[in-house]
Chain A
């Protein structure tokens, strides 16, 4: 069951009504309903691994309590590191085992030792990267005494399994989430309506832009050897837009759904394409992952390497972004993708221009010429780098890139079904305009039309709904489910 499925369109109103009308006695009853519905939601998406989710929850819940009970010393360290190893081992087995063994075997074969390895048939549990990172963060925070472990098993499991975020995040922090669900939530009309608006905008991005673009992108990447450079560049641009529309669309829906229950979760995107440097971009793209890695990887690393000043910072950022790449998947292409993004930070660190927080066109309607150039340059850089994230292997990525930098870049793109492409591009234009208008808000349509007359506002929302029904593409799997 996904947010765009028919089943979810039935599931959500039922849970919503039960939550506010039947299970509304106190925080416990509300959490019982949220937990039960989350289990149903997860089982309908992937029933095979609900026991893994439960095991992860129980182990981390009790380990955190044990860590907090022990005085600082060897035993506490042992329990803490056992917990970290437990979580990483789960992630490693399901996500990376085949990749690392295969890479090791390939290395051995290069050195003359011939070994055959048939990859294990390992299914990837949905949401594993998200819930495992949450659990690791929880143990680290408890061990660092930044938070106290919770004794409330019901709240803890509600946090872990909460259905708006279980499949694709955000990677929510315990300290932000638990206080919200440990008190009774009251229905707030304004927040609920804002949630509906955010869901609507998420549906627009996912069902019109991402779902229409994905087949176009697939077609280009599958036939890259026969296409000219300009078509391939367009393919890379379409891919990064589809990735954004898919994941930020999901993220908007997750936040919107959660608002219906008067629970705020982190918005993973803050209009990242309206940035002029890579540092700013990553502050606005997949925010919960970036901030998690900043707190639990970059900060400890840069602390250890602080004596080396900017070199220490550069090494720390490179390692952090290698992990960003690896987090996205067990493939060399993702590692290169992460490494390149880390590399783009190096000039910023050396120049020290990271100090300048740039808000483009702050308080203005349109950006300046230099801001526009910066935005465009960064967008192209991110689009071209995304070729590594989308390609099946490094060979494909390099072949794809070499055609882009060939003279065929200056020929006319050869796209099939031009009418479909043009219609999609019109919607991309509409999306950019609306997101630009709402770039300083919580989400793109948070205040658009708020001061309009009710009828006009209804027409605006109705137009989005109609557009989704008329122009929505064939349903595509959410890209980030595979991560």
Chain B
């Protein structure tokens, strides 16, 4: 799966969980830049990503995520 396909799927998940599209998908996008992506919604987003890409994350891996770019790299490493 190429990066643009992953990005599009991630955008779809964020829109469905956060119920808005006020963000731009780019590598340096972080949770703090996105309205509503907080500690409460984070795990729902993660669960949706796991379901969408049929993979399982470790907490340690999630703790190291800094932005969208590192999230995409992590997903690619699982596919």
**Residues of chain A at the chain B interface (Cβ within 8 Å):** 144-146, 279, 294, 298-300, 302-303, 306-307, 309-310, 312-313, 317, 345, 348-349, 352, 354-357
* A313 in contact with B62 (CB, 8 Å): no
Q: Indicate which residue in A303, A349, A355 contacts B59 across the interface (CB closer than 8 Å).
A: A303
Q: Which residues of B does A touch, CB under 8 Å?
A: 17-20, 35-36, 38-44, 46-47, 50, 59-60, 62-64
Query: Secondary structure at chain B's binding surface: helix, strand, loop or mixed?
Result: helix
In the A-B complex, the 7 residue pairs with the smallest Cβ-Cβ separation, listed nearest first, are A355-B36, A302-B43, A306-B47, A354-B40, A306-B43, A294-B39, A303-B59
Which of B17, B19, B35, B40 contacts A313, CB < 8 Å? B40
CA distance A145 to B63 in the complex (A): 10
B44 in contact with A145 (CB, 8 Å)? no
CB neighbours of B17 from chain A (8 A): 355
| B19 contact from A302, A303, A309, A352, Cβ within 8 A | A352
How distant is the Cα of A153 from the Cα of B32 in the complex, in angstroms? 34
Contact B44 A309 (CB under 8 A): yes
Q: Judge whether A279 and B47 touch: CB under 8 Å.
A: no
A123 to B45, CA, bound (A): 46
Inter-chain contact B19/A355, CB cutoff 8 Å: yes
Residue in B18, B40, B42, B50 whose beta carbon sits within 8 Å of that of A349 in the complex: B40
Q: Which of B35, B36, B44, B59 contacts A300 (CB 8 A)?
A: B59
Residues of B within 8 A of A299 (CB): 39, 42-43, 59, 63
Residues of A within 8 A of B47 (CB): 306-307, 309
Which chain A residues border B19 with CB–CB below 8 Å?
A: 352, 355
How near does chain A come to B77, taking the closest CB pair, in angstroms? 17
| The one of B41, B43, B60, B64 that contacts A355, using a Cβ cutoff of 8 Å | B41
Q: How far is the CA of A195 from the CA of B39 in the complex (A)?
A: 31
Q: Are B18 and A355 in contact (CB under 8 A)?
A: yes
- Closest chain-B Cβ to A43's Cβ sits at a distance in Å of 38
Given the complex, which residues of A lie within 8 Å of B59, measured CB to CB? 299-300, 303
Residues from chain A with a CB closer than 8 A to the CB of B20 are: 355
Q: How far is the CA of A306 from the CA of B45 in the complex (A)?
A: 10
* Cross-chain contact B63 with A313 (CB below 8 angstroms): no
Among B43, B50, B59, B63, the one with the most A-chain Cβ atoms within 10 Å of its Cβ is B43
Contact across chains for A354 and B63 when beta carbons are under 8 A apart: no
A145 touches B60 (CB 8 A): yes
Within the complex, what minimum Cβ distance (angstroms) separates B64 from chain A? 7
**Residue ID in chain A nearest B46 by CB atoms:** A306
Q: Is the CB of B63 within 8 A of A144?
A: yes
Residue of A nearest to B64 (CB): A146
Interchain CA distance A131-B3 in the complex, whole Å: 44
Show 5 residue pairs from A and B whose CB-CB distance is below 8 angstroms, ordered by the A residue. Answer: A144-B63, A146-B63, A302-B43, A303-B59, A355-B35
- Closest Cβ neighbor of B35 among chain A residues: A357
What separation, in Å, do the CA atoms of A310 and B43 have in the docked complex? 9
Note all chain B residues with C-beta closer than 8 A to A279. 38, 40
Residues of B within 8 A of A303 (CB): 43, 46, 59, 62
CA distance A298 to B41 in the complex (A): 12
Q: Chain B residues near A349 (CB, 8 Å)? A: 40
A176 to chain B: closest CB distance in Å?
A: 16
- A85 shortest CB reach to chain B, Å: 20
Q: CA–CA, A299 to B46, complex, Å?
A: 12
| CA gap between A310 and B48 in the complex, in Å | 12
List 13 additional A-B contacts (Cβ < 8 Å) besides A294-B39, A355-B35. A145-B60, A279-B40, A300-B59, A306-B43, A306-B44, A306-B50, A313-B44, A317-B40, A348-B40, A352-B19, A355-B17, A355-B20, A357-B36
A310 CA / B45 CA spacing, docked (Å): 12
| Contact residues in B for A356 (Cβ distance below 8 Å) | 35-36
Query: What's the Cα separation between A294 and B41 when bound, in Å?
Result: 12
Contacts of B39 in A (CB 8 A): 294, 298-299
Q: Could you tell me the distance in whole angstroms from the C-beta of A89 to the nearest C-beta in chain B? A: 25
**Provided the pairs A299-B59, A303-B59, A303-B62 are in contact, do residues A354 and B36 lie with their beta carbons within 8 angstroms?**
yes
